[in-house]
Amino acid sequence: MSDKLGSTATMGLDTPPRLAVDALLDDASTRIIVCCGSGGVGKTTTAAALGVRAAERGRTVVVLTIDPARRLAQSLGIDSLDNTPRRVAGVGGADDARGGGELHAMMLDMKRTFDEIVEGHADGERAQAILENPFYQSLSAGFAGTQEYMAMEKLGQLRARDDWDLIIVDTPPSRSALDFLDAPKRLGSFLDGKFIRVLMAPAKVGGRAGMKFLNVGMSMMTGTLSKLMGASLLKDVQTFVAAMDTMFGGFRTRADATYRLLQAPGTAFLVVAAPEADAVREAAYFVERLAAERMPLAGLVLNRVHGSGADQLSAERALAAAENLEEGGIVDQESGKAGHRGSAEDGSPASTGPAPSNGTAPHDFTADTPTAGTPETEQIAAAETSADEITAGLLRLHAERMQVIARERRTRDRFTSLHPEVAVAEVAALPGDVHDLAGLRAIGERLAAGVPAGA
């Protein structure tokens, strides 16, 4: 599929259906919005902007972000974000003319979420043994897929509390931005799989019989594992497995429940991309994968799209005009021919206008014109040259902008040619970074508009 997207050159397509962002946010049946996409395309900003707009339209919202950058907390006016939802001041509320909703925000703490699961599903002594186990500490801090799994665990916890009528999830950055769909299955399979069950067997038998079983029945396997993992690590794993025995089924059950929650009515996925070939190619993959998993797709958010209020001047015409100015020529708007200021092709003075028709001699304008070579004429010439250079530079900048716009539209059209049914919101690029609530509101307005300025 990615090869098709990269090579298909489709121009002149009909504009794709517009994503109705406000309708999505206002729909009370929409309870979860998941923003997914490759890294660096603006998922976190999009999620926060959606949260602000939804709260100011009356929803009670919590935004769950995975991005550890401080800029989101700063934009929301919060000193820091952690694993506990925090109310965002200045958004919604009964006194807010924009709406009576509320906005809360939080940042996933992967290890703390895992610790909460242990503390909530094991008695005090067993929980303490698990939390202090070196293998658990390694698993909870950085095991492949743990972050994605814990993001889904936290989503399930938030949904179960029912304190918010809209949860917006900013998915983790990863090589494949849909890892969060696979991670619950992978980690659940690992924790409930044959490997863990084999390691658990001696602990289940217990006592001397267990040790005898381990030494005799598993001697070959244990020897191999000791070489691969180290005897100390193997012991830590076995201790961890014994302590976690009663919890393994819960991981798989919760993973399955969260997966079903993502497929259920009331969940909406937004694929976020930048108008660049690689990002849109990845977005097309996300769209196809979501369809294969029967996940409800709301549409594509195309971020940082460029527009122009002067797009009637093409890049080609702008470049031609710039070249004329740089070569010292001007464009004759009637004939389309270029000539030189103050001279004809034969070197004679250029006519200042048609001769009078009353038979009198034409006025001698040379008396009103500064003499060539004087300081005054040199200043005039320098000013004209400077103005020409500035104008030519602006024309070239405009030509570059128009080329960027054309490239972005071709990229969008390639996606649309493959997925004409997917609604698209094109978010106009802001002149600077988003660093406060006003910036998030501006992004929200652009999301709702769905088209870039000047498009």
The residue that leads in pLDDT, 403 or 365, is 403
The confidence score (pLDDT) of residue 122 equals 82
pLDDT at 385: 62
Q: Which of 8-12, 45-49, 148-152, 379-383 has the lowest mean pLDDT?
A: 8-12
Identify the pLDDT of residue 231: 55
Work out the end-to-end distance of the chain between its first and last CA atoms, rounded to an integer number of angstroms.
29
**What does pLDDT average to over the chain?**
75
Instruction: Give the CA distances from residue 203 to residues 158, 230, 391, in Å, rounded to whole numbers and listed in that order.
Output: 35, 19, 81
Residue of 182 and 53 predicted with greater confidence:
53
The pLDDT score that the predictor gives to residue 338 is 44
Residue whose entry in the numeric block shows the structure tokens 């179960």: 160
Residue with more model confidence, 237 or 112 = 112
Is the CB of residue 81 less than 8 Å from the CB of residue 170?
A: no
Give the C-alpha separation, 393 to 407, whole Å.
21
Q: Are 271 and 300 in contact (CB under 8 A)?
A: yes
- Does residue 322 register a pLDDT over 50? yes
**Can you give the pLDDT at residue 6?**
40
Q: What is the mean pLDDT of residues 255-263?
A: 86
Summarised one tens digit per residue, pLDDT across range 10-35 is 334 557 789 999 999 999 999 999 99
- Per-residue model confidence (pLDDT) at position 348: 45
- Strands 166-170 and 267-273, bridge-based pairing: unpaired
Average pLDDT over residues 405-433: 88
Select the more confidently predicted residue: 451 or 77.
Answer: 77
- pLDDT over 60 (residue 132): yes
